[in-house]
Chain A
């Protein structure tokens, strides 16, 4: 389980950094600054960050940025990245058009 659930810990003020405009999530175009601010807005888990900012919710489903987002959040929370539970894994693992999901038919056994 996630060990970073204590919302009362003091992580200090958000301090702008020179590389805050660095793009992290290539699909949804989310920057490092946005992710850092989200943590200070109270989003401590990767699932929360994902819902809040849409990091890893684009076409590639976080293939490229998951690890990067994790390390940014961990640094902001001043914990080791392995303390953070990865965001929930769920279907579809790859982008699939809605019409394909909608047209699913029952198969004969």
Chain B
């Protein structure tokens, strides 16, 4: 039986981060992962991450994954792939299936970072081919270049449902609608808005009645539900669709921890059955740790920090790190972590209904129900001003931990301040030079550069554009409003691309003046 200082189960963001910290301290560490490739779900995340610089904000998930793998490789971390951990026993012994052989291994410390599994809901026809998990859609399109379907219906408006819907649009699929049984959209408003402005309708308080089709999905019927989750007769709506995506949350895959005898609890705020852990992720069994989604459903950014904390805690437990060094490192990571666990969507606020921002501004009910800010609400937010000449219009209306826009502006037009969750405000005394760095840096694609009167009759609007084919200067088309409905004719003035924008192109269109504060997306005429 082989012995290691540390065995990590799962080579996703949490597991790799943990192994990296341990390897830095010259621990003998191995990572097992059942998949053919390392990285967990990180390589499917093609959107820019939120947070601040220390959380790798505005970097796309798959890029963070590549960096993490490189760091692990440079430190000599052994990642054993196609290795299925089939059991965890007393005294930190694991059985692992590799190449049709069962191996027994023992770790002086163990970090379980097995991630999560997708939740499901049942409805008539839910086993039909064409009904898939949202993760499956992501895997097919972002890893294998396969479109999951032509017409896709999405159930679930948490961040997964919203992000995957946008990615489906990027892949060239049509998203026919999103629905959620809850009366409110669960994910970030900015994620919803970038889907809504493409013309995709949201149906809150709705769920699936049935998936239609004999051998595969040909359509879907949804209906409104009352506050007891019962269908309201007469509210049925039908959509033609060949694919139904389910994004109704994740559950920790914590079975190994339970098998090993770690104390478990059912904690809805953490997504289900989770181990009871201390501040370092240590379970009730000394030397066994849990990191990432298996310890509580959160974002990849927090999973990476949680993994690093577990890594140094395992090192400290085995004497590879003294108390002082551990305390110092722990403090740094813990601060980064608490930076992410703030704002409206913080774990502690799960399930709460907030009506005011930290700035005491009303939270848009329209945004929560339909996915976009109403034209009449937009003026309330500190990122929306009407300076003469080109200026940023920041349609960021919820307190989320994110601040790249503040650092992106070379002229310091954008202020968030010390508190990372504060809504960005535009400093009207600073002069915008129209460079568009803020537009490209906003992970939520919520910043527009607007010149409300570039001449007598027209205004210009610069927006982030991440679709193909890329329009070019001179193209004419339709400007769409925040709700995705056509508002006026538009002509593309310029399309700026740069490695610094990281695949977010800056499209500037010309629209009649009165639409300067309404037009937010461009669709080329067919």
A adjacent to B, CB under 8 Å: yes
Write the residues of chain A forming the contact surface with B, with a CB cutoff of 8 angstroms: 22-24, 26, 32, 63-65, 67-68, 81-82, 86, 89-94, 96-97, 100-101, 103-105, 107, 109
Stretch at the interface among B10-18, B96-104, B369-377: B96-104
Q: Which residues of A contact B222 (CB under 8 A)?
A: none
CB distance from B274 to the nearest CB of A (A): 11
Tell whether, in the assembled complex, residue A93 and residue B85 are in contact, meaning their CB atoms are under 8 Å apart. yes
Tell whether, in the assembled complex, residue A100 and residue B102 are in contact, meaning their CB atoms are under 8 Å apart. yes
Tell whether, in the assembled complex, residue B259 and residue A91 are in contact, meaning their CB atoms are under 8 Å apart. yes
Q: Which residues of B contact A100 (CB under 8 A)?
A: 97, 100-102
26 contacts between A and B (CB under 8 A): A22-B124, A23-B122, A23-B126, A23-B127, A32-B122, A63-B117, A64-B117, A64-B120, A67-B272, A81-B266, A82-B266, A86-B258, A89-B255, A89-B256, A91-B87, A91-B95, A91-B259, A93-B84, A93-B85, A93-B259, A94-B97, A100-B100, A101-B102, A103-B101, A105-B101, A109-B2
B324 at the interface (CB under 8 A from A): no
Question: Which listed residue, B86, B120, B122, B273, touches A92 by the CB 8 Å rule?
Answer: B86
CB distance from B10 to the nearest CB of A (A): 12
B354 at the interface (CB under 8 A from A): no
In chain B, positions 20-37 with a C-beta closer than 8 Å to chain A are 34
Q: Which residues of B contact A92 (CB under 8 A)?
A: 84, 86-87, 95, 97
CB distance from A6 to the nearest CB of B (A): 19
B: interface residue count bin: 20 to 34
Contact bitstring B97-129, A, C-beta under 8 A = 1, else 0: 100111110000000000001011010101100
Q: Which residues of A contact B251 (CB under 8 A)?
A: 67
B468 at the interface (CB under 8 A from A): no
A81–B258 alpha-carbon span in the complex (Å): 18
Q: Which residues of B contact A94 (CB under 8 A)?
A: 34, 84, 86, 97
CB distance from B283 to the nearest CB of A (A): 14
Tell whether, in the assembled complex, residue B256 and residue A107 are in contact, meaning their CB atoms are under 8 Å apart. no
Write the residues of chain B forming the contact surface with A, with a CB cutoff of 8 angstroms: 1-2, 34, 84-87, 95, 97, 100-104, 117, 119-120, 122, 124, 126-127, 251, 253, 255-256, 258-259, 264, 266, 268, 272-273
CB distance from B80 to the nearest CB of A (A): 15
CB distance from A26 to the nearest CB of B (A): 6
Q: Which residues of A contact B84 (CB under 8 A)?
A: 92-94, 96
CB distance from A63 to the nearest CB of B (A): 5
Chain B interface SS verdict (over half): strand
Known contacts A82-B268, A86-B273, A94-B84; decide if A24 and B122 are in contact (CB<8 Å): yes
Q: Which residues of B contact A104 (CB under 8 A)?
A: 101-102
A93–B124 alpha-carbon span in the complex (Å): 30
CB distance from A94 to the nearest CB of B (A): 5
Tell whether, in the assembled complex, residue A91 and residue B266 are in contact, meaning their CB atoms are under 8 Å apart. no
Known contacts A86-B258, A100-B97, A107-B1; decide if A93 and B104 are in contact (CB<8 Å): no
CB nearest neighbor in B for A92: B86
Q: Which residues of A contact B2 (CB under 8 A)?
A: 107, 109
Q: Which residues of A contact B87 (CB under 8 A)?
A: 90-93
Known contacts A90-B87, A91-B95, A100-B97; decide if A68 and B104 are in contact (CB<8 Å): no
Q: Which residues of B contact A22 (CB under 8 A)?
A: 122, 124
CB nearest neighbor in A for B102: A104
CB nearest neighbor in B for A22: B122
CB nearest neighbor in B for A29: B127
Q: Which residues of A contact B266 (CB under 8 A)?
A: 81-82
Q: Which residues of B contact A23 (CB under 8 A)?
A: 122, 126-127
A90–B87 alpha-carbon span in the complex (Å): 7
CB distance from B16 to the nearest CB of A (A): 20
Q: Which residues of A contact B268 (CB under 8 A)?
A: 82
Question: Which listed residue, B100, B104, B119, B124, touches A67 by the CB 8 Å rule?
Answer: B119
CB distance from B34 to the nearest CB of A (A): 7
A104–B103 alpha-carbon span in the complex (Å): 8
Question: Which listed residue, B97, B126, B255, touches A96 by the CB 8 Å rule?
Answer: B97
Tell whether, in the assembled complex, residue B104 and residue A107 are in contact, meaning their CB atoms are under 8 Å apart. yes
Residue among B87, B124, B126, B255 with the highest chain A CB neighbour number at 10 A: B255
